[in-house]
């Protein structure tokens, strides 16, 4: 008979030692580990111009998508401002403040749905320009004047 090597018996699986939930001090005393505590990040205070409240007001009237559209930002930005996760940058903050002011004035005369239409429609008191465009480029003064003229029933 030929010499046929015999198969080696199967090896036993070696397990890694189980982790213990205790620690050993330098003196050899075993003590339990303290549980890990996750601490929430401290809430940052709002800046003095209270962007959360401004965003809450504007988004509450116009909605998230319309607010983002009017301010030229991503759709997710207004909801982040409302929750305090983010604060608008300087140029967007100025636009948000102006929109907040004009929207508050609009609501003295019309409802929220009409306010959006007024902001995005052609206005004869602004030489046919859309109030939102004038607001974003030149600020609120001409838009408020046009609003006052519309509210008084003046014709351009």
Q: What is the CA radius of gyration of the chain?
A: 32
Q: Which two tokens stand for residue 142?
A: 């001409």
| Tens digits of residue pLDDT in 68-113 | 999 999 999 999 999 999 999 999 999 999 999 999 999 998 888 8
> Is the confidence at residue 114, as pLDDT, over 60?
yes
Domain range summary for the chain, segments of one domain joined by +: 51-152
pTM: 0.68
What 8-state DSSP symbol labels residue 33? P
Residue 39 binned pLDDT confidence (cut-offs 50, 70, 90): very low
Residue 154 CA to residue 86 CA, distance in Å, equals: 41
Residue 56's Cβ-count burial label (10 Å; 0-12, 13-18, 19+) is middle
Measuring CA to CA, how many Å separate 118 from each of 100, 102, 111, 144? 15, 11, 10, 12
């Amino acid at each position: 008979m030929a010499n046929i090597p015999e198969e080696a018996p199967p090896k036993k699986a070696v397990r890694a030692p189980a982790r213990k939930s205790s620690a050993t001090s330098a003196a050899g005393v075993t003590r339990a580990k303290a549980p890990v505590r996750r601490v929430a990040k401290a809430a940052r205070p709002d800046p003095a111009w209270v962007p959360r409240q401004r965003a809450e007001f504007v988004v509450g009237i116009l909605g998230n998508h319309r607010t983002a559209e009017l301010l030229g930002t991503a759709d997710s930005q207004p909801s982040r401002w409302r929750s305090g996760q983010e604060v608008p940058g300087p140029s967007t903050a100025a636009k948000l403040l102006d929109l907040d002011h004009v929207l508050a004035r609009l609501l003295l005369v019309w409802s929220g749905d009409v306010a959006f239409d007024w902001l995005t429609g052609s206005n004869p008191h602004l030489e046919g320009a859309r109030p939102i465009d004038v607001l974003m480029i030149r600020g609120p003064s001409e838009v408020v004047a046009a609003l006052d003229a519309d509210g008084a029933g003046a014709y351009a």
